[in-house]
Amino acid sequence: EAMSKTYGRLEWPDLFQAGIQLAKQGFVLDEETAMMIEHAFKDFPDQAKAIYGKNGRPLRKGERLFQEDLADSLRLISEEGAKALYGGSLGKAIDREMKRSGGFLSLEDLVNNKAEWWEPIHITYRDCEVYTASPPSTAFPSLLRLGIMNQFDVRRLGHNSPEFLHRFIEVTKHVFWCRLRYAGDPEVSPPPLDYLLSEKYWKEQASKIDLHKAKPFVYPGLKESDSQQTTHFVVADSWGNIVSATQTLGNLFGSRIMPEGTGIWLNNSLSYCTFEPKGNPMDAHPGRRKLSGDCPTIIVHNGKPWAALGTPGGHTIGQTVPQMVMNLIDFGLDVQEALASPRVSFIEPDTIAVEEAIGKDIIKKLKTLGHKLRLVKRPGGLGNAHALLIEYDKDGQPLRFRGASDPRGHGLALGY
């Protein structure tokens, strides 16, 4: 609501009509979504089983999912605005469910919640400016990876060559360490971005990479959990305004708690907290902001937004995004190729996930360099990105939009 009031032009109720219609009329489940429901169904509360099930069993591929309660909740927000949740009937339903399930989130917490604006952070990469979310998002490692890779002649190394991938893997392991070491609430323990995003630091770290051998990952803190229920979308209008947004429910169906009558799942970001031993940057503390692992990204070229992209994928997000950025800027791939191209990702404690499409010869070479690999096959893969590019005419006005949806998922690129 705060974004709509500040930047929006459409009437508030109109924003919800398509969502209400889809929730009410339902949609046919694909195989992947049906498998997710089947996996989590036993943990659903009764009211959710009635929505996501039929005759006491989970809905199956080809059956239609109707969400009448969710349609009613969206209609309520369209009529009453944010107050429907922050103090209104939806908030009261959450408050009741929290009391019933032993949670501590209260109606007072919801009433006191306020939207916050944060300036984005950015670096210069080649002839572009790459922008992403600032802390409390932990998106800064994406820029750090690009900064260190900027010290190499990436084009000469070749797209997804063993030489390129070895450097990126070694860089991404170090940056993963930085995320665990430095991520924090910007008003309590802010990461030292002036230092981490400096040319001096990038050159220093690039010089430490052994070009002929993989180094083991030295662990500074605690393991992070993966995220399985994250969505990313990008939108542009005819004037060239861009939104790049990442939204997460946490793990599969979040906390699997649904306040009765709402159709709304509550997330479970607290599952990434460990508290003992101390030092996990994802721990939540009273009066502090909870960190998030999203990395929505906008690339500016010649002073104008040129590309917007992002992906779900938990701890792989900040590794997938820079690979797509390099695909676009360094290797000149079109937007669909940039998303579809095979990826790698560091997985704790010391494994590299490699999509099988990288190729047998390259995988063999990476193994000889000492990398411990885990092959990832499609369907699925690393991430499920969406992206768009904007072309401009000679007067600097948007001329053409090109969108792309990751073949690893079931997304959509659509103009209307």
> Which residue out of 132, 138, 230, 248 is catalytically annotated?
230
Measured between alpha carbons, how far is residue 26 from residues 13, 20, 31, 63, 183 in Å?
20, 10, 16, 10, 40
How far apart CA 31 and CA 249 sit, in angstroms, is 20
At 308, phi and psi to the nearest 5? -135, 135
Joined tokens for residue 27:
């949609």
Query: d(Cα 325, Cα 333) in Å, to the nearest integer?
Result: 10
Beta strand pairing call for 351-355 and 373-376: parallel
230 among known catalytic residues? yes
CA dihedral sign, ordered 366, 369, 375, 380? negative
CA distances from 384 to 116, 141, 182, 206, 313 (A): 27, 19, 27, 29, 7
One DSSP character per residue, 375-390 reads EEPSSS-S---EEEEE
What secondary structure does DSSP assign to 29-58, as a single string?
--HHHHHHHHHHGGGS-HHHHHHHEETTEE
Active site positions, annotated: 230
